[in-house]
Amino acid sequence: MQAARTAGLSYADLPRLIGLQLGDEKHVTSATSTLDVIWVLYDRVLRIDPSLAADPDRDRFLLSKGHGPMAYYAVLAAKGFLTEDDLRSFGLYESRLGQHPDRNRAPGVELSSGSLGHGLGVALGLALGLGLRASPARVFCLVGDAELEEGSNHEAIAYAGRTGLDRLVCVVVDNRSSSLGWPGGLTSRFAIEGWSTATVDGRDHDGLERAFKAEHPRRPHAVVAEVEPKS
């Protein structure tokens, strides 16, 4: 029998929910760097919950940085998409929750990810498709700062800016893991291509909410969330 889902939990429950997931400790820092960003999106911004999971006009969240999904799974559990038993089975052979998210197995997951560099291009295509059918849905894609060194992201950033794809929001979690760095800062990479931009403390929930909800008519929006990874 399926265990009861865990909707109604709070931010304070997330460390415990992450702690239920064992076997991929090497990616804990990668996961926890995204924790506050994902929580604020699901708690304050996205038009999505388990009752809307099949609604064609729901907002979409794509975790391109899929190699450390424990925080993502914890938030999905807190919001009722997953159960605590799902979390305890993390990484096991029969589990719905792999060390990379699988949209065909994990409820609430919109993108099978983990191979870095693909998420933003998928998000761009999804946003274009939603626009063609005049859906009100928005697409939020979370990438890592080092992931932006992939060439596919350069192409996606340029195309989205040129076409004014205002239903697309790219959230960059910047924990300074990029090997090459970004002269002029990460926001300049987006701004020069015509994006609206915001830089915010990635642990400041109110600041994140304001950045996500900022108006950006006829332009895609990039939010750079600067974080010190939690140990």
Total structural domains in the chain? 1
For residues 226 and 173, what is the distance between their CA atoms, to the nearest angstrom? 6
Could you give the residue ranges of the DSSP H alpha helices within the chain? 14-19, 28-32, 35-40, 70-78, 84-88, 119-132, 151-163, 186-191, 205-213
- Would you state the pLDDT for residue 187? 93
Encode pLDDT of 206-223 as tens digits.
Answer: 999 999 999 999 999 999
Q: Which helix (H) or strand (E) holds 168?
A: strand 168-174
Let me know if residue 5 belongs to a domain.
Answer: no
Is residue 2 domain-resident? no
196: containing domain: 11-226
Residue 3 lies in a domain: no
Q: Residue 1 falls within a domain, yes or no?
A: no
Condensed to tens digits (0 to 9), the pLDDT of residues 120-153 reads 999 999 999 999 999 999 999 999 988 898 889 9
Q: Within a domain: residue 154?
A: yes
Backbone angles phi and psi of 41, in degrees to 5? -60, -50
How many of the other CB atoms lie within 10 Å of CB of 103? Answer: 13
Q: What interhelical angle do 119-132 and 151-163 show, nearest 10?
A: 30
Query: Would you state the pLDDT for residue 1?
Result: 30
Cα separation values, 120 from 154, 158, 169, 170, 183, Å: 10, 11, 9, 7, 21
Q: What is the largest CA-CA distance in the chain?
A: 54
- Is 77 inside any structural domain? yes
What pLDDT score does 11 carry? Answer: 95
3-state DSSP call for residue 222? strand
CATH number for 32: 3.40.50.970
Instruction: Tell whether 182 is covered by a domain.
Output: yes
pLDDT beneath 50, residues of the chain: 1-4
